[in-house]
Structure 1
């Protein structure tokens, strides 16, 4: 089991490395050494900011067949590169600046200073409060739903256990998110109407996407029961179930990935306003490596071996959500965002190592004991 997983992981990272080198070469021919350097910097920025994304995605991806994992790594990367890194910023400028798509594309390729009020980067920066409200609400609900869920294994037991008991109140996550959005809109938002509308859209989007997950689970259970009743149903019924279930999870992962990408996409324009360099750095290098890491975590079984990684990733999501909401009014350096996530996930990894060593010394099953940190 281990050798094939390692071989598969090596192949995935090798492909990521080759494509990343190709992206840097393309950037060099596009704009010289400066463009190549900026592309590499943006790639590293994306990987640093999105490690928690990879861990959370891995928990979903491990429920998908290998075929859908490959679709996530191939078709999904096209969506990540062209959808989030090219089309999304253009769409934001079109909607917020009230200009035609053609004018937005023309503006994107004009070499105007970032401080110029007519520049593409400036207009995208002006739309940041709405983007932060949407992404912040989406990720906050993702974190709160996880936080209020009862689990057998807990990391910060002194905090997670009481919150899980409080979470038995129906729709508590939505209530907290809605109240927080209202307070932000009435106190710190320069344009409360736009921020509130974007935040509500983020909440609705999360509920819709989360509903897809529930639809998938109900569909999968009904198909399994049907197959058990019809022993001669044949492999086509199983294939159909996996196909539809995989499609739902694929959609869920794409929306989740988009939400994680907001801070990286906006932060990239502080480094360069060139959409081509952003697509090469954030997309072909950063996003591809993050997706490769996601598949690697699944096939290596890392999340099963280091059980607190998922906890650390979700706490990092909560921190990222709050940072996004803070940036509605105040600037937060991307380095701070990346470090917060790395520290939380690093602490979870160290706690997992300590737990595994303790369980190995005691000779008890790893999955049955909680550790208080």
Structure 2
């Protein structure tokens, strides 16, 4: 399909470059990272579309271009480098040098910050899932359950209360440094969620009004979408170290994989796939909620990536199957 021509070209070039410098071993690892990133991010594409379709075309294009650059350079490189720099005595430049020249040592530092990163991403995804569950809906997948929760979103910050209770339960089961790191990650994640969902819009509106600019809602939506998209990146970024400690291979593999995610998002948006499968949006959000919960549980009891991705893909597949059954019944 035409949507995937550019990612295919970039992936081919990227794999060839890695093969030239690192041989077949590096090329195979790059392909593996592309596949992992693409498979783990199916729910990411669907959730992004639900936000993206409400935005002006200008910001839709920005998300597909500048948003991809932010996802690759920002979340796959600058963010983990910043975390390592903040938790060690190295400055930012020294950490970058460490990442490129001493991959194994850099990997150890990132693994040391894994709890903070995972808990931040997990609580943000849980908040996204709960917010959808509590929102008013016109379409129900599990009607008996969803109707009981519907309307809860009208209570001020109720999703934050629920997420805080979940994180507290996990925190109680931990001790020492793991408990402290989980607390830092969860509290930071909740704070960022509150800022991007409640404060960013007002700040952007005020700035645009003062500067005489239009499309403030599109800009605030773009900022929220970038944070939402970033929350899906943490498990893939950390998991990439299980494949290779070499930052160059990691950036190319995850970057090309992110390109496929953007292409999938564009395909879902332009072809109206969300409208064709009425329960797909539900499935994606519940997959995100389950992934966030499993990431938090994984801090105490390690959960393999195959399990987390399998559960997420299973929920999405079930939502697609339910949508097809509904469409067939409607056609009769």
**What's the secondary structure of 1:64's corresponding residue?**
coil
Deviates more, 1:164-173 or 1:252-261: 164-173
**What's the secondary structure of 1:146's corresponding residue?**
helix
| In 1: Cα distance, 2:190 partner to 2:74 partner | 21
1:322 aligns with 2:293: yes
Alpha-carbon distance, 1:213 to partner: 7.3
Structure 1 equivalent of residue 67 of structure 2: 76
Alpha-carbon distance, 1:324 to partner: 1.4
CA contact (8 A) 1:61 1:295 kept: no
Structure 2 equivalent of residue 178 of structure 1: 164
| In 1: Cα distance, 2:24 partner to 2:226 partner | 33
Q: Could you report, residue by residue, the CA deviation over 1:98-153 in whole angstroms, capped at 9, with x for unpaired residues? A: 3222321222123565xxxxx11111111111111111111111111111112121
TM-score (norm. length: structure 2): 0.92
CA separation of 1:272 and 1:179: change in aligned 2, threshold 3 A: same
Structure 2 equivalent of residue 89 of structure 1: 80
CA contact (8 A) 2:126 2:289 kept: yes
| In 1: Cα distance, 2:188 partner to 2:46 partner | 25
| In 2: Cα distance, 1:84 partner to 1:178 partner | 25
Report 1:275-354 matches (<5 A): 275-283=247-255, 285-354=256-325
1:43 aligns with 2:38: no
The root-mean-square deviation of aligned C-alpha atoms, in Å, is 2.1
Structure 2 equivalent of residue 140 of structure 1: 126
Alpha-carbon distance, 1:212 to partner: 5.7
CA contact (8 A) 2:44 2:232 kept: yes
CA contact (8 A) 2:135 2:152 kept: no
| In 2: Cα distance, 1:104 partner to 1:213 partner | 31
Deviates more, 1:102-111 or 1:300-309: 102-111
CA contact (8 A) 1:129 1:329 kept: no
CA separation of 1:189 and 1:153: change in aligned 2, threshold 3 A: farther
Q: Structure 1: which 5+ runs fail to align?
A: 1-9, 114-118, 224-236, 362-373
TM-score (norm. length: structure 1): 0.82
1:241 aligns with 2:227: no
**What's the secondary structure of 2:195's corresponding residue?**
helix
CA separation of 1:339 and 1:217: change in aligned 2, threshold 3 A: farther
Q: Could you report, residue by residue, the CA deviation over 1:230-262 in whole angstroms, capped at 9, with x for unpaired residues? A: xxxxxxx9xx533x3322222111111111000
Structure 2 equivalent of residue 156 of structure 1: 142
Alpha-carbon distance, 1:209 to partner: 1.1
**Number of corresponding residues:** 327
Structure 2 equivalent of residue 196 of structure 1: 183
Structure whose residues are more often helix by fraction = 2
**What's the secondary structure of 1:109's corresponding residue?**
helix
CA contact (8 A) 1:189 1:328 kept: no
**Which structure has the greater CA radius of gyration?**
1
